[in-house]
Amino acid sequence: MTPGNAWITGAGKGIGRALALHLARDGWRVAVSARTAADLEALADEGPPGAIRPFVLDVTDRDRTAATLDAIEADLGPLDLAVFNAGTHAPESDAIVSATAFRYLLEINVMGVVYGLEAVLPAMTARRWGHVGIVSSLAGYRGLPTAAAYGASKAALINMAEALQPELRQQGVRLQLINPGFVDTPLTERNDFPMPCLISADRAARYIVDGLSSSRFEISFPRGFALLMKILRLLPDRLYLAATRRLVK
């Protein structure tokens, strides 16, 4: 990818933070958003001087998201790349559905991306160029115990990206779907179960940078775990549900 202007949401910690540093060191000017100003300031200080610009944002605020894009483009100029990475996870302890938990995760994981897309796509489609990455998860492939709300939010992003890609391509905008497996971040530190093929945030960022430079629609990693999840997606329901029942405590 030719360096230009990028915007990354959810950049205060984890994958977003590591990705911002990779892009900045590759010559990009990177606008970073998160809710905590101190995290963004520390990130800006760690990157090359002047390369990382902090913009505090709660992605569930639709109006503020649009205003943040205006501020970014007033500072940097038109965006070449937007990576909508902000997301969270709240493990569920039993099968009782909590509407509060669902609403919380859907507002951040899904609507936070939708508000970002609503902000950046009109200008990108009008000038017929731009590049968007949507960070979902391999957990969106099939339902997993204790992750009904999280998995549903990530499945929604996968479906949305697949639906949007053909139309956006005709309008000159590249859309790529990013599906990580388990990545060592403050979010996954909350998990109380084994996480197969766990990788560092820095390694995840390298996968993303390589994928964004490719022609692939889906950027999934790590490769072995992604392949396993793709195989599980093809299993008949009888076999898949028999396997996942063993995961229930």
- Distance (Å, whole) CA 48 – CA 41: 13
- CA neighbours within 13 Å on the CB side: how many for 229? 21
List, for residues 1-50, the tens digit of each pLDDT value: 899 999 999 999 999 999 999 999 999 999 999 999 999 999 999 999 99
CA distances from 188 to 62, 115, 129, 223 (A): 27, 25, 35, 19
- Burial (CB < 10 A; 0-12, 13-18, 19+), residue 43, is buried
Query: Which is more confidently placed, 196 or 118?
Result: 118
pLDDT of residue 96: 65
Amino acid at 66: A
For the chain, the domains span 5-245
| Cβ contact 85:10 at 8 Å | yes
pLDDT of residue 101: 85
Percent of the chain having pLDDT more than 90?
Answer: 81
pLDDT of residue 237: 93
Which residues neighbour 119 within 8 Å (Cβ) at sequence distance 6 or greater? 65, 66, 68, 69
pLDDT of residue 126: 98
Instruction: Read off φ and ψ for residue 215, nearest 5 degrees.
Output: -95, 5
**Among 25, 21, 114, which Cα is nearest to 65's?**
114
Q: What is the mean pLDDT of residues 137-147?
A: 90
Binned at pLDDT 50, 70 and 90, residue 244 comes out as confident
List, for residues 166-203, the tens digit of each pLDDT value: 999 999 999 999 999 978 777 665 666 666 778 999 99
Global pTM reads 0.92
pLDDT of residue 184: 78
Q: What is the mean pLDDT of residues 118-131?
A: 98
pLDDT of residue 40: 98
**Among 110, 75, 76, which Cα is nearest to 5's?**
76
- Distance (Å, whole) CA 112 – CA 136: 12
List, for residues 212-231, the tens digit of each pLDDT value: 999 999 999 999 999 999 99
Concerning whether 150 is annotated as a catalytic residue, the answer is yes
pLDDT of residue 218: 98
- Longest CA–CA span in the chain (Å) reads 56
| Cβ contact 148:104 at 8 Å | no
Selected catalytic residue, list 115, 150, 207, 240: 150
Q: Does domain 5-245 have CATH number 1.20.140.10?
A: no
Binned at pLDDT 50, 70 and 90, residue 107 comes out as very high
Most confident of 22-31, 93-102, 139-148: 22-31
CA distances from 109 to 59, 135, 240 (A): 9, 9, 26
Q: Is 212 helix (H, G, I), strand (E, B) or coil?
A: helix
Q: Give me 106's structure tokens.
A: 């859907």
pLDDT of residue 117: 98
